[in-house]
Amino acid sequence: MPDISAISAVLGSLKTATDIAKFIRESDVSIERAELKLKIADLFSALADVKMELVELQDTFAAKEQRIRELEEAFQAKGSFVRRYDAYYRADAEGNPVGVPFCLSCWEKDHRQRQLVTDAGGYRKRICTSCGHRYDGNLAREIPQTKPNEPAGTA
């Protein structure tokens, strides 16, 4: 949720703008032209502050909504992920790990599904392109899906 201070700043700027607008509306004809210009400049400044604060709040809300979506997706995927050695995999119908490995670190820390790729520096290593964590290729390798009549572990 956005900071209370950010919301307070927007409300404060709006109050200032409203007060200036009331002053201009209630001033009588004898107000000096220079003073009127000064108050209008203050009004524009206060409105610009409000606009900037609202843009920041909008960005904050968008980031929070994105994070909520990511966490909901992770919650939905939690039951379909299985850990094997140093990686997580999608589970097949029997609950066995299959397919490409996903980063153990990213999943356990942030619940983000990040596929591991073969490290360019060594074909026996896997690396997460998101966090940079390195894995032994034998403990985080791709697991082919077994055929229905084939016992597990022979592929």
Q: What does the domain layout of the chain look like in residue ranges? A: 4-78, 81-136
Residue 155 is predicted with a pLDDT of 46
Contact yes or no for 100/115 (Cβ under 8 A): yes
Handedness of CA 70, 73, 75, 80 (dihedral sign): negative
Question: Which two three-digit tokens encode residue 106?
Answer: 């990213």
Q: What is the mean pLDDT of residues 20-38?
A: 72
Q: What is the mean pLDDT of residues 25-45?
A: 74
Distances in Å between the alpha carbon of 103 and those of 35, 64, 75? 64, 24, 16
Q: pLDDT band for position 29 (50/70/90)?
A: low
Average the pLDDT over each of 5-9, 60-64, 96-100, 115-119 and give the range with the smallest value: 5-9
Q: What is the mean pLDDT of residues 136-149?
A: 73
Q: Assess whether pLDDT exceeds 80 at residue 131.
A: yes
Q: Closest Cα to residue 31, out of 44, 40, 42, 43?
A: 40
How many angstroms separate the CA atoms of 109 and 81, rounded? 15
Task: Enter the pTM of the model.
Answer: 0.49
Mean pLDDT for the chain? 78
Q: What is the mean pLDDT of residues 21-39?
A: 72
